[in-house]
Chains A and B, each alone.
Chain A
Amino acid sequence: MPEETRTRPLSAIGRIRRAKEFWIFLFLLAIYVFLLILKPQFRSPDNQLIVVRQFSWIAIIAVGMTMVIITAGIDLSIGSVLALAACSMGKLVEHGMNVWLGVLAALAIGATCGFLNGLAITKLKIPPFIATLGMMAMARGATLIVTQSTYSILPDALVESVGRGTWWGVPVPVCIMAAVAVWGAILLRHTTMGRYIYAIGGNEQAAALSGIRVELVKLVVYTLTGFLAALAGIVVAARSGSAQPTAGIGSELNVIAAVIVGGTSLMGGEGSVIGTIIGAAILGIIPCALILFFIPADWQYIAVGAVIIIAVALDRLKKR
């Protein structure tokens, strides 16, 4: 095996070919080219950007979820936190708060929920699955209580600028997604904090014995994910023009699926933001492809489920 005798860092091309992101990117590219050839209406950049805009909110949360899963954790609460943040913003603004202060309040609420997740996991030593399952129920309950199960109409200022607005011709939600992804990729790959995150997922005990403040890193990671869930909630609400108490139900599964398809291991210690964005794109483009081929929408779930299983199965086979 050439790998056994390697003594220098891989060349750029070698690294790209070895990365598992490369293969899922090829898969995405294949679907994309397939649609370009067979469906003329897919060829307009505007239509393509609409597809990206549709999965952008999933991708925004998935960046945080990637970090959580790399630490060998999970966050099931993001869908409820998204709704709580967006609906609290809606009600605060309805009661006269400035809309941008409402946005800040939503982000603070999301970060707080994430921080509480982190506290439950690190201080109460509750497994992440259970701690965030509890938060999932409580944040949804809080949303229903705060809103009395009613939705709020959001002011035009937010809807026009964030929901329908564009920067340099690119929809604002896509710009936000791109900014979050670039920031997340730099954090994971090029900062000390990123190395701590991989180290904790790779071997938590060894990380602690190397002097890493494991609890603090986990707190940061869950807080960031709560923050990003709120950011996604603002994007979703601004897109639809209203904050719905049922927003984000079931979205935790889509977010986790994007991360898994993107090559991040649920066992922790490996994964990347680039892979996650590609994963979100694959899961976002499939419904679009089905619609373009007039396949009934109910088949989406079958297709998405199959992609998740095939992606992980291929990864396993390659590792053998």
Chain B
Amino acid sequence: MSTILQAISLRKNFGGVVALDDLSFEVRAGEIKSIIGPNGAGKTTLFNIISGIYRPSSGRVRFEGKDVALLPPHVIARKGISRTFQNLQLFANMTVLENVMVGRHPRTRVGFWRSIVRFPGVRREERLTARAAKELLDLVGLADNAHRAAATLPFGKQRLAEIARALATEPKLLLLDEPASGLNVRETEQAGRLIQKIRDMGKTVLVVEHDMSLVMGISEEVLVLDHGRRIAEGPPREVQKHPEVLRVYLGEDFHNAASAES
């Protein structure tokens, strides 16, 4: 499988605080890769750099072989990277359908200047956009909620709406920031199946998540961060047994006890 995303010696400082420290990793096209680590490990900072909200202090991000680290967010979105947020970022006053249609617009053939007028061709495009948006709502299971204001949806459904909007830009790489946070067990299982379905549609998915059952259940690869550094990387089963990971997650004492036993 080819590499779709490559982070090379990424570093990000906020004043004196080092959020990412010489981080390098790769994501292969068509896989589900999860990033885990304790709070403050730099996971969300990493997403913010990949999606163009932050610029790295140094280092590079290569997407499909091209540098993207210094591009503005809307250009990165158009190149095929899309994301969701840990704390939801929907357009609260719009309906669910309109939220998804906003995501869809950059992919339509209506250029910026034609967007101001309303020729028949534009109207036809609008209908196609609405249809594509409805299909995505079907995919995530929100078809019945299309015309509700996004802010009135229950939390779990808002997460799904955000995933639908992110998919509307037709990303090749989808970044999901804690898709299961705030969800109950059943909803988390559904989210896991949805993520696998999205992968099966040929998309690459990079997930930041705390819910270990979800991470271990769906990921082909897991990257473990601590203090902005990579401490382990590999298939879920291997990572789970990695001594550094046990130390970070369970504490020094546990690790010592575990090694004394063996």
Contact = CB atoms under 8 A, between A and B. Distances in A.
B148 interface: yes
Contacts of B98: 195
Interface string A1-21: 001101111100000000000
A115 to B, nearest CB: 15
A187 interface: yes
A209 B99 CA distance: 13
Interface string A166-178: 0000000000000
Given A6-B147, A7-B144, A195-B101, A210 B165 contact: yes
Interface stretch (A41-49, A92-100, A200-208, A290-298): A200-208
A4 B77 contact: no
A192 B111 CA distance: 10
A3 B151 CA distance: 12
Residue of A9, A10, A190, A209 with most chain B CB atoms under a 10 A cut-off: A209
Nearest to A70: B93
Nearest to A208: B73
B106 A210 contact: yes
A211 B74 contact: yes
A82 B245 CA distance: 65
A196 B148 CA distance: 19
Interface residues of A, number: 33
Interface string B144-177: 1111100010000000000001001100000000
Contacts of B52: 209
A205 B135 CA distance: 25
Contact of B74 (A10, A191, A213): A213
Contacts of A187: 116
A193 interface: yes
B73 A192 contact: no
B93 A193 contact: no
A3 B147 CA distance: 10
Contacts of A205: 53, 73, 89
**Interface range on chain B (Cβ under 8 Å from partner):** 35 or more
B116 A193 contact: yes
Nearest to B153: A4
A10 B115 CA distance: 26
Given A198-B94, A269-B93, A210 B103 contact: yes
Given A205-B53, A205-B89, A216-B112, A4 B152 contact: yes
B182 interface: no
Residue of A7, A10, A214, A216 with most chain B CB atoms under a 10 A cut-off: A7
Contacts of A199: 91, 94, 102
Contacts of B82: 209-210
B248 interface: no
A195 B105 contact: yes
B217 interface: no
Contact of A211 (B92, B116, B148, B169): B169
A220 interface: yes
Interface SS majority for chain A: helix
Given A209-B73, A209-B77, A192 B105 contact: yes
A209 B171 CA distance: 11
B106 A211 contact: yes
B106 A191 contact: no
B61 to A, nearest CB: 15
Interface string B8-35: 0000000000000000000000000000
B251 interface: no
Interface in A243-301: 269-270
A47 B78 CA distance: 55
B132 interface: no
A271 to B, nearest CB: 9
Contacts of B73: 205, 208-209
B147 A191 contact: no
A65 to B, nearest CB: 18
A186 interface: yes
B158 to A, nearest CB: 12
Interface of B: 51-53, 72-74, 77-78, 82-83, 85, 89-94, 98, 101-103, 105-108, 110, 112, 115-118, 122, 126, 144-148, 152, 165, 168-169
16 contacts: A3-B148, A7-B144, A186-B118, A195-B102, A196-B115, A199-B91, A203-B91, A209-B73, A209-B77, A210-B74, A210-B77, A210-B82, A210-B105, A210-B168, A211-B77, A211-B107
Interface of A: 3-4, 6-10, 186-187, 190-193, 195-196, 198-199, 202-203, 205-214, 216, 220, 269-270
Given A195-B98, A213-B112, 8 more contacts: A6-B148, A195-B105, A202-B94, A206-B89, A207-B91, A210-B74, A211-B107, A216-B112
The 10 closest A-B pairs by CB, nearest first: A211-B106, A202-B91, A192-B115, A211-B77, A208-B73, A206-B89, A193-B115, A210-B103, A270-B93, A199-B102
